[in-house]
Amino acid sequence: MQTLTGRTALVTGSTSGIGAATAHRLAAEGARVVVTGRDTARGDAVVQEIHDNGGDAMFIASDLAAVPDALRAFARDTTDAAGATIDLLVHNAAVCPAVDTLGLSDVDLEQTLAVNIRAPHVLTAALAPAMTEQGHGAIVVVGSWMAEVGHAFVGLYSASKAAEAQLARSWAAEFGPRGVRVNTVAPGATRTPINDGSDDVIRRMTENLPAGRAGTPDDIAATVAWLASDQAAYVHGTTIAVDGGITATRAG
């Protein structure tokens, strides 16, 4: 059963990994999907795969580290190109510098804050009003289990994901009464193209989990699609851990 027929979705960072899997899943559920990212070739490939599977998608290039006015222009361009209100907004794109505090460069600091916090805030402010005007919509933040515990590495990434989850809770309070549901999905150790070379690390992180394995992008996409659908109509402001039990059964 297609649960998202007639909806238009924007998934940031959807040219690979969790974002691409989410774009495929939303399209399979009947949504028209705007795929976006910096790599046009990869974006076009995701769109073609969706078309080959009978779905509806288009690609629009974006730079989420851009200044706020450029992000607002991207939101307008996306709405115009889609020819419809964006009903479903998935904040998936993120930057994760794999360094400790002393090793973090100023460039990585600024880019992480821009992509992980500023861009979701600006895009939500740009796109949520049209959702509230029509009286329905859904926003899903792709967070991280790392927002729940301390880490010697990736501290800034973890903090940015905690901030984004708090934004989602605040947006739920702000926009929920006007018909827009906002929630967070928090993945655990998930195999994506970015960490293909980290098999040993992922194995150590996941071998003793209740799930007994690492997550897959499809695991995350399925939960995002459910939260975006009317099946989750009474779910507001929550964080769903799709992490194989990592936050529930270990401290870090």
Cβ neighbours around 99 below 10 Å, total: 15
Q: How much is the pTM?
A: 0.95
Per-residue model confidence (pLDDT) at position 212: 87
Q: Cβ(89)–Cβ(14) under 8 Å?
A: no
CA–CA separation, 24 vs 22, rounded Å? 5
**3-state DSSP helix/strand/coil % of the chain, to nearest 5:** 50, 15, 35
Active site residues: 157
Architecture of domain 8-242: 3-Layer(aba) Sandwich (3.40)
Quote the crossing angle between the two packed helices 106-113 and 155-175, to the nearest 10°.
20
CA–CA separation, 147 vs 133, rounded Å? 32
CA–CA separation, 21 vs 106, rounded Å? 32
Phi/psi of residue 58, each to 5°? Answer: -145, 160
Domain boundaries, the chain: 8-242
pLDDT tens digits along 84-139? 999 999 999 999 998 999 999 999 999 999 999 999 999 999 999 999 999 999 99
DSSP 156: H
Compute the mean pLDDT over every residue in the chain, rounded to the nearest whole number.
94
Per-residue model confidence (pLDDT) at position 110: 98
List of E strands, 82-167: 88-91, 137-142
Calculate mean pLDDT across residues 238-246.
96
- Vertex 45: Cα angle to 215 and 112 (nearest 5): 55
pLDDT tens digits along 24-41? 999 999 999 999 999 999
Helix or strand run (H / E) with residue 20: helix 17-28
Pairing of strands 180-187, 239-242: parallel
Residue count of the chain? 252
